[in-house]
Amino acid sequence: MNALKKRSALLFESGETSSRYSSVVIDLEELIDDSPVREPKSFAAREKIHFLLEEIDQVFADSQEGNADNYGAKAGNINSFRNIREFIRLIPESLLELTPTVLLEPDGSFALDWEHENADISFAVSFGSNNDELFFAGLFSNGAKQSGVEIFNRFWFPESISKNILRVIKGR
């Protein structure tokens, strides 16, 4: 959330702000729950979650003018933004051994990507723009592949997703 506020302040100072952007910031302040993560976690895990949330906020703020990829990417989608933040807060501590990369797709959806040090083993989850769908795909050892769709209910972490993140952590 800090990144959004900083970005907002900069835009106001520079006089670049638009009513569209201002309203987005106000909406997000109402949407975002900044209370502590849902389950007890170690200090290191909370630090990682904090880092990821800051990164998501920064990607969202940077995307608001659109065209983040210079191919016409849409601005970060609010529904996808909200779901990725909720998802991060639900990640079990055992899965935080490997920090995912935050990515923004051309349609404005956010995604998380876990990559083993052998970059050919990886797994990604994309957060739908219009609903609570999670689209996932992974490439694993020996040419194994997995892809599918899950529904994110915001209360527990999907098992199919955690299994695949573990495969990346273990390099299998």
Q: How far is the CB of 98 from other proteins (least distance, A)?
A: 14
CA angle 3, 154, 60 (to 5 degrees): 20
In the region spanning residues 69 to 128, those forming contacts with other proteins, defined by CB under 8 A, are 69-73, 101, 103-107, 109, 111, 113, 119-120, 122, 124, 126, 128
Distance CA 121, CA 165 (A): 10
The residue type at 50 = H
Q: Three-state SS for 50?
A: helix
- Please pick, from the candidates 2, 18, 67, 141, the single residue that binds other proteins as defined by CB under 8 A: 67
* Residue 165 lies near other proteins (rule: CB under 8 A): no
Q: How far is residue 22 from each of residues 10, 27, 32, 106, 108, measured CA to CA in Å?
A: 12, 9, 16, 23, 19
Structure tokens given for 63: 């995307």
Q: How far is the CB of 147 from other proteins (least distance, A)?
A: 4
* Residue 145 lies near other proteins (rule: CB under 8 A): yes
Q: How many CB atoms lie within 10 A of CB 49?
A: 21
> CB under 8 A: which stretch of 12-20, 39-47, 135-143, 160-168 binds other proteins?
135-143
Q: What is the total count of residues that contact other proteins (CB under 8 A)?
A: 31
Bridge partner residues of 162 (DSSP)? none
The H or E element spanning position 135 is strand 133-139
- Cβ proximity to other proteins, 19 vs 145, nearer residue: 145
Q: How far is the CB of 16 from other proteins (least distance, A)?
A: 17
- Cβ proximity to other proteins, 42 vs 101, nearer residue: 101
Structure tokens given for 13: 């100072």
* Residue 52 lies near other proteins (rule: CB under 8 A): no
- What residues line the site for other proteins (CB under 8 A)? 67-73, 101, 103-107, 109, 111, 113, 119-120, 122, 124, 126, 128, 135-139, 145, 147-149
